[in-house]
Amino acid sequence: MGKKFVPTEITPAIKARINSWQKFADETRVRHLKLSSTTNLPFQAKTCNDNDGACPCFGRRRPFCPCPEMWDELIKDGHCFCRIFNTPEEDEKQQAMINGKKK
């Protein structure tokens, strides 16, 4: 039997990390950046906080989140590797997939 999903408790530190990501996305809206609406942000934020602010997916190899590599990933894939940040088009595409619609 598979592992049971246990939601990440949203502590003040996790909420602060998500708020900082949202602020970053809002401030760079001109660059078409959006905080993902489909990723488990509390889990990603907890992982980032547990790694002293490093990338949730790459850890110490990318010591900051958001990382500089994110911009190239957004251009190439429409989202950063961790799927925390998306282009608006990619976010819409991911939402459609979740809702069972093909985009």
The residue length of the chain stands at 103
For residue 57, the tally of other CB atoms under 10 A from its CB is 17
pLDDT value at residue 38: 84
> What integer pLDDT is reported at residue 85 of this predicted model?
94
pLDDT at 95: 87
Q: Tens-digit pLDDT profile for the chain (103 aa)?
A: 556 656 678 899 999 999 999 998 888 765 678 899 888 999 999 999 999 999 999 999 999 999 999 999 999 999 999 999 999 899 889 888 888 865 5
Residue 89 half-sphere exposure toward CB, CA atoms < 13 A: 7
* Residue with token string 């997916």: 57
Distance separating alpha carbons of residues 13 and 85, to the nearest angstrom: 19
pLDDT at position 30 is: 57
| pLDDT computed for residue 97 by the predictor | 86
CATH code linked to domain 12-98? 3.90.460
Where along the chain do its domains lie? Answer: 12-98
